[in-house]
Amino acid sequence: MGVLKAIEEVKEEVNLTRRRILMAISMGSGGLVAAAVSVPIVGFLFSPMLRKYPGLWQDVGPLSQFKEGATVQVNLVTSGGLAWDGPAQRIAGWLRRNNASNFTVYSSKCTHLGCPVRWLPDPELFMCPCHGGVYFKDGDVAAGPPPQPLQQFPVRVVGDRVQVQWIDQQVHYVRNGSPSEGCPKHEPDSPPASEV
């Protein structure tokens, strides 16, 4: 009897080991299949964030339309005209004709928080009405919170047409401090300043 019992125990251990091996193989192959299926899905979801879009050269008008020394607003398109972009694909830029063949194009986005800047011809300044950002006519910061000059776009003349290349722009947001930053500290136990 003891020999038969020992044989049954060994047989049961072998079966358990086979079951464990088969379970590990099936779980491992299921994990590999799940990983193989998820890679294209994850790639599809995150590829727009990693894709670099080429700059688009856009015609903004004939050379004769722009007077020397004048700064005018031009409309630019940010994409290849995808159907779902709608009006969001259109942005403004400020084009200045410096001389007969030299142009400068500035972004209309303030480098502080991305608000639209406008051109004031009499003082020759770009102004951001939202937070008081002021830029000189060359795009450099004159006053206010903007951390850097206005972004410039490449511009060229082809035949008698002016073309601007829209390039993806990044507004660098600044971190604002506490609303009470710079205010004198008031301790509850200390007397008000007028009593001292």
Where along the chain do its domains lie?
A: 1-51, 56-166
pLDDT per residue as tens digits for the range 49-99? 776 666 678 888 888 888 888 888 888 877 655 666 666 667 788 888 888
The structure tokens listed for 20 are 């464990």
pLDDT confidence of residue 176? 44
The structure tokens listed for 37 are 């299926």
Q: Which fold has domain 56-166?
A: Rieske Iron-sulfur Protein (2.102.10)
pLDDT per residue as tens digits for the range 132-183? 888 888 888 888 888 888 888 888 888 888 888 877 654 444 444 433 343 3
The structure tokens listed for 41 are 């899905």
Query: Whole-structure pTM over 0.85, yes or no?
Result: no
DSSP, residue by residue, 93-116: EEEEE-SSS-EEEEESB-TTT-PB
